[in-house]
Amino acid sequence: MSPGREAAHGQEGHAVRLDWGPTGGAAVARGADIAVVVDVLSFTTTLVIAVARGTRVHPFPWKDERAAAFAADRDAVLAVGRFEAAGLADPPPSLSPAQLLTSVPVERLVLPSPNGSTICAALSAVTVVGASLRNRSAVARWLAPRLADGAVVAFVPAGERWPDGSLRPGLEDLWGAGAVLDDLDRTGLRVSPEAEHAATSYATVAGDLRAALADCASGRELAAVGYAADVEAAAEVDADDVVPVLTDDGFVAG
């Protein structure tokens, strides 16, 4: 990509930027100080719940034999999939936020996911923050003084994947990013049109967010396989007052 195109797609000149998924996230994080990753259904929602309960969370791209070794090296519990946890009397932690709310907290948790977790791991060259609807005001408060001091912030809605592996932008992640931006005083900030669009999109559903989240494609998909409770947990705006920040030793409360 030519320098001019790279600058355009990286939204250079804007202090607050936004683009989708691993590729878009890498573009807008280039030259940024902070990346705010948003994966409402469900990685960052589950991350926020875990960190709020005192768990140190290690992101990992996907669950396979490497994830088990990664967890063992860190003396951490490896989260299981939603379906693996279903039906167990005392289920271990999983990617399901509703299930995590009822499980016994652990000290360390490896939380694999193909979207949000993968993006967090890939952007570790900058300060990575996990945001969801549950902690949108906490993240906005955390960002405000840093932006005032001149930080450049890249919002990265994770999106989902079609069966062929291509990106499927998810409204829930646009709303999650927009919810943080909506609570942030953007007066005097150089905000990209892409980031402003997220704030505007959130404002259109904020009055009935729970219904909108349940009716979007990702919400309907989870409900169809028996996980409507995960959508409900994700819709609890400002339920947690914590900002997960990625360190060399996992996500901790910032």
Q: Rounded to whole angstroms, what are the CA distances from 91 to 57, 98, 109, 174?
A: 18, 12, 14, 31
What's the rounded mean pLDDT across residues 43-51? Answer: 98
What's the rounded mean pLDDT across residues 184-194? Answer: 97
| pLDDT score for 87 | 66
pLDDT grade, residue 63 (50/70/90)? low
Structural domains in the chain, CATH included, are 3-44+116-239 (3.90.1560.10)
Q: Rounded to whole angstroms, what are the CA distances from 156 to 38, 65, 79?
A: 6, 28, 23
pLDDT grade, residue 85 (50/70/90)? low
Convert 71-84 to b/e letters by CB count within 10 Å (16 or more is b): beebebbbbbebee
| pLDDT score for 83 | 75
| pLDDT score for 64 | 74
Distance of alpha carbon 152 from alpha carbon 108, whole angstroms: 30
| pLDDT score for 4 | 83
SS3 of residue 43 by DSSP: helix
Residue 86 has pLDDT above 90, yes or no: no
| pLDDT score for 137 | 98
Distance of alpha carbon 112 from alpha carbon 192, whole angstroms: 31
Q: Give the helix ranges, DSSP H, for 21-135.
A: 21-29, 43-52, 65-73, 82-85, 97-102, 116-122
Residue 89 has pLDDT above 70, yes or no: no
| pLDDT score for 65 | 82
Residue pLDDT, tens place only, 204-237: 999 999 999 999 999 999 999 999 999 999 999 9
Residue pLDDT, tens place only, 199-213: 999 999 999 999 999
Q: Are 197 and 20 in contact (CB under 8 A)?
A: no
Q: Rounded to whole angstroms, what are the CA distances from 55 to 168, 174, 198, 213?
A: 30, 27, 30, 27
Residue pLDDT, tens place only, 65-74: 899 999 999 9
Distance of alpha carbon 147 from alpha carbon 150, whole angstroms: 5
| pLDDT score for 91 | 73
- As a whole number, the mean pLDDT across the chain is 95
| pLDDT score for 127 | 98
pLDDT grade, residue 136 (50/70/90)? very high
pTM of the model: 0.96
Distance of alpha carbon 151 from alpha carbon 189, whole angstroms: 11
